[in-house]
């Protein structure tokens, strides 16, 4: 498991491109028949990718739970959310099997001892994008099919950011301790994922970009509003954004992304907007 430590905005101003990428970018999420894991000390979020093809994978197979978290099993004091961007899969949690289709989600409760993941069809393997945050109490494990997510249409053709925000793990859908998670899909012809940009001092965020067409990229913008930097993002890569950082993307074609948030509250609209003309 890769471990990343916190960075402050004063030092960030002096980072080179390579330093920014090493600190915040997660370049490879999915490895066939394996589980990847990155543990960030920014609100102690863990980002995982699981791509079962021929094997049934254990979620914590590459994690030393005692050494890394001081617990006997991964979700002893954590909650977890996942969204599947691949083919149909099955997640088995403490003996109960949950089918998880394309663009469906699943929330797993704190206290879940055993988690395994497998493909329904090895010819079309699932790609489970997973985020886990510390938890203080257990809420029910809940499947979240795409139809049960909240779908918010925002943006316009004129501002090149017409999009649908699909809220899977959200206070209006289910209760969690601190984890929020959803998927935003841009309409064809739209390239911005948000404007005006914002921060939320009370929460950090991880962005995972996917459905980026071949030979295209997304320019992800981060940093303070008056000290912005960009990171070139390729398909199925993620980036860690501390609470002091903006988080927005502009693609060379339309794309989709999964956002996951952790922190003091779960108020989705608790944002500190930065007027576009004040960006530097």
Distance CA 49, CA 237 (A): 10
Element spanning 10, H or E: helix 9-12
- pLDDT tens sequence across 92-129: 999 999 999 999 999 999 999 999 999 999 999 999 99
Give per-residue pLDDT as tens, 9-20.
Answer: 999 999 999 999
**Distance in angstroms (rounded) separating the CA atoms of residues 123 and 265:** 41
CA distance 193 to 184: 8
The CATH homologous superfamily of the domain defined by 2-278: Jelly Rolls (2.60.120.10)
| 198-234 tens-digit pLDDT | 998 889 999 999 999 999 999 999 999 999 999 999 9
Summarize pLDDT for 232-277 with one digit per residue, the tens: 999 999 999 999 999 999 999 999 999 999 998 888 788 899 999 9
pLDDT in tens, 176-190: 999 999 999 999 999
Write down the mean pLDDT value for the chain: 96
pLDDT band at 77 (very low <50, low <70, confident <90, very high): very high
Instruction: Answer whether 136's CB lies under 8 Å from 177's CB.
Output: yes
pLDDT at 34 over 90: yes
Domain boundaries, the chain: 2-278
């Amino acid at each position: 498991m890769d471990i990343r430590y916190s960075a402050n905005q004063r030092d960030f101003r002096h980072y080179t491109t390579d330093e920014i990428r090493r600190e915040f970018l997660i370049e490879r999420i999915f490895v066939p028949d394996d589980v990847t894991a990155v543990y960030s000390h920014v609100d102690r979020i863990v980002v995982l990718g699981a791509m079962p093809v021929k094997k049934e994978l254990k979620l914590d197979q590459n994690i030393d739970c005692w050494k890394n978290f001081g617990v006997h099993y991964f979700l002893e004091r954590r909650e977890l959310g996942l969204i599947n961007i691949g083919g149909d899969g099955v997640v088995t949690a403490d003996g109960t099997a949950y089918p998880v289709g394309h663009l469906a989600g699943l929330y797993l409760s704190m206290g879940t001892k055993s988690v395994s993941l497998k493909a329904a069809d090895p010819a079309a393997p699932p790609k489970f994008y997973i985020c886990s945050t510390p938890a203080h109490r257990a809420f029910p494990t809940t499947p979240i099919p795409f139809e049960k997510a909240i779908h918010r249409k925002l943006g316009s053709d004129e501002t090149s950011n017409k999009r649908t925000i699909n809220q899977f793990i959200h206070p209006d859908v289910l209760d969690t301790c601190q984890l929020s998670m959803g998927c935003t899909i841009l309409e064809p012809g739209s390239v911005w994922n948000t404007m005006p940009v914002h921060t939320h001092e009370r929460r950090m965020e991880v962005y995972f970009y996917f459905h980026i067409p071949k030979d295209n990229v997304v320019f992800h913008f981060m940093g303070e509003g008056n000290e912005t930097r960009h990171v070139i993002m390729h398909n199925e890569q993620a980036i860690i954004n501390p609470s002091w950082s903006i988080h927005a993307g502009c693609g060379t074609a339309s794309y989709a992304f999964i956002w996951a948030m952790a922190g003091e509250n779960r108020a989705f609209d608790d944002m500190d907007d930065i007027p576009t003309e004040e960006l530097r």
